[in-house]
Structure 1
Amino acid sequence: MILYNVTIILDDEIHNEWLNWIKTKQIPDVMNTGCFVSNRMLKVVDSPNEGVTYCIQYISDSLEKLNEFRQIHERLIQASTPEQFNNKLVAFQTVMDFIDNQ
């Protein structure tokens, strides 16, 4: 299993509008690609950054599916970010592999 983590740091002034958009538009669009089996959204409680920080985690059952998402879907989904959020947030991605502790 592969975890694709997207961390977003956003200005307080767009927080409520962005939160509604991410939940109702972007996360469903990402999940509709068929590249991920589940997702979860977390708010960073003790972020050292100004503004609000969220992590959106998408779980893929293979690196191939994640690569499919990144090669085919990611740019289109990122391009659909509303203009009012431009220059008001920063995002970065991290890819992680699950390790069993048995």
Structure 2
Amino acid sequence: MTLSWLRFQNSNIQEKSRQTTKPLRQISINRRSNRVLYNVTISVDSLKYEEWLLFMREEHIPKIFSSLCFESYRICKILGEEAGGTAVAVQYVAYSTESFEKYNTEFAPRLQAEHQERFGTSAAAYRTTLEIIEEGHLVDDSVE
């Protein structure tokens, strides 16, 4: 490939991009440090999935939030097939490293034991702790 061909290709792509796409929107970036993403990946047996989801919504997550250590959560179904079950990631955002450590020492052992007692091997969990460095989202088009 020659350099002139690459320049032509790049200018051609840029021109097409200008003709067919909307203008780029603003991205709001949040660099609050010290927050923690606590990710719990659970492999739930297909026969127990609905019961497990109800338990999480009505019992487990409210108990986690009563610790006052987390600001938000999300439940995500992991795409793809898993033999005999559904893989789910439950993600909690702790206010700070200190908040997460408090949760992990004062609340997690009891709550994890309750989950294990209720579902055993039909909802096996794996936990990962991540430090949030930066996050962003698109700014609403109506805001200028």
Please give the TM-score of this superposition, normalised by the length of structure 2. 0.64
Give yes or no for the alignment of 1:100 onto 2:134. yes
Name the amino acid aligned to 2:45.
D
What residue number does 2:55 align with?
21
Q: After superposition, give the CA deviation of every residue in 1:5-48 in whole Å (9 maximum; x if it has no partner).
A: 1110011111111111111100111011001111111111225x
CA gap of 1:19–1:101, structure 2 versus 1, over 3 A, is closer
Which residue of 1 is the match for residue 71 of structure 2?
A: 37
5+ long unaligned stretches in structure 2: 1-34, 137-144
Matched, 1:67 2:101: yes
Q: Which has the higher helix share?
A: 2
- Distance in 2 between residues matched to 1:83 and 1:40, nearest whole Å: 23
Query: What is the root-mean-square deviation of aligned Cα atoms in Å?
Result: 1.8
Looking at CA atoms only, which structure, 1 or 2, has the larger radius of gyration? 2
Question: Equivalent residue of 1:8, what SS?
Answer: strand
TM-score (ref. length: structure 1): 0.89
Q: Alignment partner of 1:90: what SS?
A: strand
Q: Give the aligned residue type for 2:42.
A: I
- Report how many aligned residue pairs link the two structures: 101
Identity of matched residues, %: 29
In structure 2, relative to structure 1, the CA distance for the partners of 1:83 and 1:77 (3 Å cut) is closer
Large movers: runs of 4+ above 3 Å: none
Gaps of 5+ in 1: none
**Cα pair distance change 1:35/1:71, threshold 3 Å:** same
Say which structure, 1 or 2, has more relative contact order (CA 8 Å, 6+ apart).
1
The 1:83–1:76 alpha-carbon spacing in structure 2 relative to 1, beyond 3 Å, is: closer
